[in-house]
Each structure stands twice: as structure tokens, then as C-alpha cells.
Amino acid sequence: MKILVLGIGNILLGDEGVGVHVVRHLEGGGPLPQGVEVLDGGTGAMVLLGPMQAADRVILVDATMDGGTPGSFQRLVPRYSSDYPPTLTAHDIGLKDLLDCYYLMGEEPDVVLYAVTVAEIPDLDLEMSDALKEAVPRVSAAIREELWAMAAEPMV
Amino acid sequence: MSTRIVVDPVTRIEGHLRIEAVVENGVVTDAFSAGTMVRGIEKILKGRDPRDAWAFVERVCGVCTGIHALASVRAVEDALKITVPPNAELVRNLMYGTLSVHDHVVHFYHLHALDWVDVASVLKANPVETSKIAQSLSRWPKSNPGHFAAVQQRIKKHVESGQLGIFANGYWGNKAYKLPPEVNLLAVSHYLDALEWQKEIVKIHAIFGGKNPHPNYLVGGVPCSFNLEEVNAINTERLNHVGSLIKDAIEFVEQVYIPDLLAIASFYKDWGAIGGGLENYLSYGDMPTRGYNDPSSFFLPRGAILGRNLNEVHDVNPRDLDEIKEYIPHSWYKYAEGDQVGLHPWKGETEFNYTGPKPPYEHLNVEGKYSWIKTPRWKEHAMEVGPLSRMLIAYAKGHTDVKDLVGTVLGKLNVPVTALFSTLGRTAARGIETQLLVHEMKATFDKLISNLKNNERRTFNPDSWEPSSWPAQADGVGMAEAPRGALAHWIKIKDKAIDNYQLVVPSTWNASPRDAKGQRSAYEASLIGTPVSNPDQPLEIIRTIHSFDPCLACAVHLYDPSGKQIHQVQVN
């Protein structure tokens, strides 16, 4: 089984880049099961459809402004773009739209979303807030655990 | 009666675009463009190693990633007088071609086509008739009735699921849509084919740049090594892959994109007289063939056209302190010497001065400052940038391939050359450029292979890599033609570190507010005279703004004459 862990966000915008920081942490934190690919999706949109559809399952890591406690995170299984929590994605073709592309192309996405709550996005800052810096290893550890648990499951 | 229309959302990547337009008797009579871009990048870069700048600037924009990295390494190389080896130039041109061709196709099908193609009408189409039309247009294999019937079913299922998603914001059924159902089905079918195809072409970035969406760049060359037999290098197998992706790109562009563009455009010829706007066009040029310092060698030429006079192309020198200047009378910045002066980017200042209303607000004070975008001018002229500018400058300079392609397109549509100065012209120019670029990619690839066969493998010039070899101070400018227009980075290096770094991006030229003289920039100018048949569905405004391929997402708000908001629409 091929699994893609995809971190999304803009590292120039402080906490908004948390998804990218998480996958970088995950990559640098010891071995991962076979078949796992980790990708810094950064600010890419349509170009991510290829790597996403090449995987059997996609684990997305993204920031959300859902009004919750900054640094907390949820594990969600969105089916359609409308299942997404509120993020900042309003770009012409955003990540959410890529999920719809699956259906249009006659496929069903197998996507798990780690949505990390952020409070506000600064103008331009490479530094994340303390709450989000502290969240990075926690989210990374949760994903690592899920990846190894999946690897231990018998192949279906 | 007049209605006021506004464009305003949030995007994570580049910020947002807001347009306020006054509509009187069904026609736009005035327009104001305001934008929020990632700003203050120079504050992050100041004091850093100039060789690292590309990795930061690559993230300022989600749709143009690699082109900012290219402009950045060029700026540093220009400052430090570094020439890249021939293979590095070829690889960069292949990366450039990939970026532009991918961007143009995705723009046409996924960001712009639904301004002209009615998805709802697809359900009424007769797949047999669509198949006949498709087969009359090209030899693309996916054109039998069964294929179109299957696509129609998939769209039907999608619509019935209630999860319209990507199609949710269309003005389906608006009478400004003119295509017959069968052509709508054809276009939507190719929308899906384009989704598949775009996944492949971008692999060229990963092959040469190590990864995507943010490929690696390198000051002094490209960060890849060629060894035809080596497993971990760019070897014969990987090169063959690149070759076949280019072949597929030519096939897709010539058998799908261009035939669709012509077929759709033939129903919208009236748009050859709408949305022209400015009469001045600027291109820095790109795809050097004998080095960045020899613009005469560029495949896409550099120059400026004034007053739509195609008999004269003016020289452009971004190093001349008097040519390109940025103004801020309507932008939320302040200059040390006062807000009426213009500053060349090497002397650029980035001091914020927000004087606008606290969001959310209904209207901007367009008499004062109303945008985060500065207003660049070339010799005091407002300039349009983008594929139309590039093609007009190439055409006016006598570029044979461009003249042939433009002639063919105008001939097939049976429209005069003046139809280029329009919304339709902008969209057509993008297609013409794509066709030009896929063939140039093939030629570039052949040159690269020939070099490698002759044992020319250098990809990096190490001469000025070490900061100890740098002068105490150095200035550089890195120009590039982003898919959506002229892009330049100006750098000042002092004591081995970045002292100042200024970007003037394409949307700065096109989306900026008025200058001190009240001259409109491209978006504002292009909307004047645009018809709006239904103010609740400002489809026509979106067509023209989308024809520029804005790197900013936008939404439309409508206002009645008293300033009360009557409508808000997210525009995709």
C-alpha cells in the first residue's frame, strides 16, 4: 500500500505553514514504514493532484481556523470538499477542489486529514507561535503512530 | 441607475483581489482594483545569504512557484556576474516551458473555461453529435459517442450528488453562455482530460528540480547532474521520460487545447471587441538561448509597445533608474520622500501605512489609498503584462512562428488583428503561446541531448560561489516572464548579505490602483465598457478579469447606488 503524507501551508505566514513543519518533523524523526512518501506540498494546488492520486491513501496535514484552541488538532476523514473544516484556502483551485476532482475523474479519495487549529495568520513571519511550535511534534507523533499501525494491519 | 460591484476574498497564498466596479445601464463605467499580496518579503530576506533567497521567494506565490526561484537566482547571478553553463540554461528553459504550458492549460480548462462553458447544459447534449464535432476538429482518440455518453453520466451523477464542489459557483443557465450543449459536453470532457494530462507534464519539474511543487534551484546553474548510465543521476531513462512527456504535451495542445480554444472562441467573437483596456504592453522576455545578458537571443523577446503601435517596439532596461518606478499615492505604504514620488525598485522602500477602513467594510475610499499593491509604471506609462503582451511584442518584432500562429488563429476565427486587443485576444494569445512553447521545449530538449552526447555535462559554474570572491557591494536584477506576465526581482548585496530585495510581480502591473496622474492600470482599464447583462451574475466582469489569469482569488460583491450590499459571490 502506497501512502502519501502531504503537508500543506505557507511557511512564510507563520502558523499557516504548520502542515509543512509537521511533515518536515516527521521526515527527520526516524524511519517510516515502507511505501510511505512524505511531501512538502507547500503552496501548491493543482500540481498536487498527481502525487495524491498516485497514492492509495493520502494523509493531509493542514491548518484550520475553526475557532478552537490554537495548537489542538483533529483527525478527520472528509469525503467531499464540503466536509472540510474552515481553512484559508480560497485560491482559485484549492486543495478542497482536488477532492472533487477525484469524483469527476471517476475515483474516490481515501483521505485522512489532520487539521491543526491556528488562531490568526501574520502578515509575513517565518516563526510560528509557541502554541503551534509545541503542536508540531505531537501531530507528527500521532501520524507516525497511525502509519506504523497501518503497516501492521494485514493487507486487504 | 448605477450599481457598484466589488471583488474580495481571502487566499492563503498570494492574498486577495477586490474589484469595485460601477455599472450604469448595463455597462461598467468605472472600476477600482485593490489587492492584498504577500508583502514584506524583503524584511524576511534582509541579512540572509543571497544564495538562499530563491527558497523563500518560491513560496510567495502558490501558482507561480518556480518562476520566482528563477527570477531570484538570476538576480543574484546578475549581481555577482555569474554566467551559467549551456546545459543549465537549457534545463531552466525546460523547467520554464513546463511551468508555463501547465499553467496555461490549467488556466484555460480549470480557471477560465467555465466562464464560457455551461456545465448544466452538458446534460442536454447528444453524445453522438458531440462525437461528430470532436472528430471534425481533431484526431484526439477519446472522441467516440460512448466516451462522451460516459462523461455526461459522470457529470449527471456529480450534479445529482449535490456535491457540486468545483462547479458550485457557476452562473449556469446565464444567457451570456452561447455554446450549444454538444460543444459544452466536448469542453467538459476535455476539462477532465486536462486534469489527467496536467498530472504528467509537471513530472518534468520533479525530474530536473528534485521535487515538486517547490523544485530546487541553484545560483550558478541547476542542481542536477547528468550521467546517462548512472542510476541516481539524470540518466537515459529519465531523459526518455522527459522526451515522451514533451511529445504528449505537443499532442494534447495541438489536438485538444487549440481546437477547443478555436471552437469556443468562434461562438464568442463579440469578445474580440470587449475588455481591451490599456494600449501599452510590456515584456521582459524569457528563454535565453545565448545567456541571460543577451536579450537579443531570447526566444520570447523583450520590449514595450505603446498605443498599440505594432510598427515600433521600444527597448526596455530595468536597470535604468528612470524607466521602472513604483508609485504609492493609492497604496498603503509611505515613502521617506513623500507619497508622490516614484521609486526604482533598487531604491524601493516597504514601509506599511494602512489607512483603510477596519474590515469588514462595504467600500474603500478610492479617493485615497485603497490597495496593498503598489503601482508600477514604465516611463510613466501604465503597462499590461502577460501572454498577450508577449505575443504582441514577438509579433511586432517579426517572430516568424508567432506571426504564423497569430495569422492562423485570426484567419480561422475570421477576425481582424485588432481583435487581439481584447478579452478574447488575451485568452487566444495564451493558447498561441502554449503551442509555441511546446515546440520550443522539444527543440530545447534536443539540444540538451545533443550536448550530453558530445560529453558536455556541466550544469554548474562554481567560479563565484564562495562569498570571499564577492565585491563589497553588488546590485542585480532577475527578470522572467511568469505565465501571467513580467516578473522581476531587484537585489542589493552588501557585505555578503542581502541589503534590499524588491519584487515587482505581474499582478502588480495588472491589478494595481491608479497612479498619481489618475491613470488606470490594466484590470481597471479593461473593465470600462464591459457589458453586465445581469448584475446578480456579473459573469462578464469575471470573464475579463480571468482573461488576465490573476494570481489572486476573487469574489464579487454587488452594491446598489446607495452603497448597500445586495449580493456577494465567490468567484472561481
In a domain, A152, yes or no: no
In a domain, A13, yes or no: yes
* B213: nearest CB among A42, A94, A103: A42
Instruction: Say how far apart CA B345 and CA B321 lie, in whole Å.
Output: 8
Q: Are A88 and B12 in contact (CB under 8 A)?
A: yes
pLDDT given for residue B563 in this prediction: 38
Q: Which residues of A touch B192 (CB under 8 A)?
A: 104-105
Average pLDDT on B179-202 reads: 97
Record the cell numbers describing residue A106, joined without a space.
Answer: 471517476
The region that residue B343 occupies, defined by phi over 0 for left and psi between -120 and 50 for alpha, beta otherwise, is beta
Record the cell numbers describing residue A49, joined without a space.
Answer: 493532484
Q: Which residues of B touch A99 (CB under 8 A)?
A: 165
Q: Are B410 and B431 in contact (CB under 8 A)?
A: no
pLDDT given for residue B37 in this prediction: 62
In a domain, A120, yes or no: yes
CB contact under 8 A, B11 and A106: no
Q: What φ, ψ does residue B491 adopt, rounded to 5°?
A: -125, 145
The tally of domains found in chain A comes to: 1
Record the cell numbers describing residue B19, joined without a space.
Answer: 474589484
Q: Are B335 and B347 in contact (CB under 8 A)?
A: no
Of B511 and A87, more confident: B511
In a domain, A104, yes or no: yes
**Residues linked to residue B218 through DSSP beta bridges, in sequence order:** B221
Q: Are A62 and A39 in contact (CB under 8 A)?
A: no
Active site residue B551: yes
For chain B positions 161-190, those within 8 Å of chain A (CB to CB) are 161, 163, 165-167
In a domain, A149, yes or no: no
pLDDT at B41 over 90: no
The residue annotated as part of the active site, out of B33, B51, B61, B283, is: B61
Instruction: Say how far apart CA B491 and CA B79 lie, in whole Å.
Output: 8
The residue annotated as part of the active site, out of B92, B104, B190, B484, is: B484
- Cite the DSSP H helix spans in B143-235: 145-160, 181-201, 203-209
DSSP letters spanning B28-48: EEEEEEEEE----HHHHHTTS
Q: Are B502 and B489 in contact (CB under 8 A)?
A: yes
Question: What's the mean pLDDT when you consider all of chain A?
Answer: 87
Residues B513-558 pLDDT 10s: 999 999 999 999 999 999 988 888 888 988 999 999 987 644 333 3
Q: Are B207 and B242 in contact (CB under 8 A)?
A: yes
CB contact under 8 A, B106 and A93: yes
3-state helix, strand, coil in chain A (%, to 5): 40, 20, 40
In a domain, A154, yes or no: no
SS (H, E, C) B493-549: EECCEEEEEEEECHHHHHHCCCCCCCCCCHHHHHHCCCECCCCCCCHHHHHHHHHCC
Instruction: Say how far apart CA B561 and CA A37 lie, in whole Å.
Output: 55
pLDDT at B561 over 50: no
Instruction: Say how far apart CA B388 and CA B300 lie, in whole Å.
Output: 12
Please state the ipTM of this predicted complex: 0.90
Boundaries of domain holding A29: 3-143
Active site residue B224: no
Record the cell numbers describing residue B387, joined without a space.
Answer: 501572454
Residue-wise over B409-443: b if at least 16 C-beta within 10 A, else e?
Answer: bbeebebeeebbbbbbbbbbbbbbbbbbbbbbbbe
Residue B166: closest CA among chain A residues belongs to which residue? A97
For residue A133, the domain's CATH number is 3.40.50.1450
- Cite the DSSP H helix spans in B202-302: 203-209, 236-252, 258-265
CB contact under 8 A, A48 and B213: yes
CB contact under 8 A, A42 and B570: no
C-alpha to C-alpha distances, B301 to A80, B179, B294, B446, nearest whole angstrom: 45, 36, 11, 22
Q: Which residues of B touch A21 (CB under 8 A)?
A: none
CB contact under 8 A, A99 and B59: no
Q: Which residues of B touch A10 (CB under 8 A)?
A: 12-13, 38, 59, 62
Angle of helix B258-265 relative to helix B127-137, nearest 10 degrees? 110
In a domain, A88, yes or no: yes
Strand pairing category for B16-24 and B553-559: parallel
Average pLDDT on B284-304 reads: 97
Residues ≥6 apart with Cβ < 8 Å to B136 = none
Q: Report which residue type is found at A63.
A: A
Residues ≥6 apart with Cβ < 8 Å to A23 = A5, A6, A7, A38, A39, A40, A61, A140
Q: Which residues of B touch A92 (CB under 8 A)?
A: 63, 110-111, 553, 572
Compute the count of residue pairs across chains A and B with CB atoms less than 8 Å apart: 134
Instruction: Say how far apart CA A11 and CA A19 lie, in whole Å.
Output: 9
Distance from CA of A91 to the nearest CA of B (A): 5
In a domain, A129, yes or no: yes
pLDDT at B5 over 70: no
Active site residue B154: no
pLDDT given for residue A103 in this prediction: 84
The residue annotated as part of the active site, out of B20, B64, B481, B526, is: B64
Average pLDDT on B352-366 reads: 78
Active site residue B200: no
Residues A70-114 pLDDT 10s: 999 999 887 777 776 665 443 445 677 788 888 888 888 899 999
pLDDT given for residue B13 in this prediction: 33
Active site residue B426: no
CB contact under 8 A, B9 and A43: no
pLDDT classification of B12: cutoffs 50, 70, 90: very low
* A81: nearest CB among B10, B63, B165: B165
Instruction: Say how far apart CA B548 and CA B423 lie, in whole Å.
Output: 8
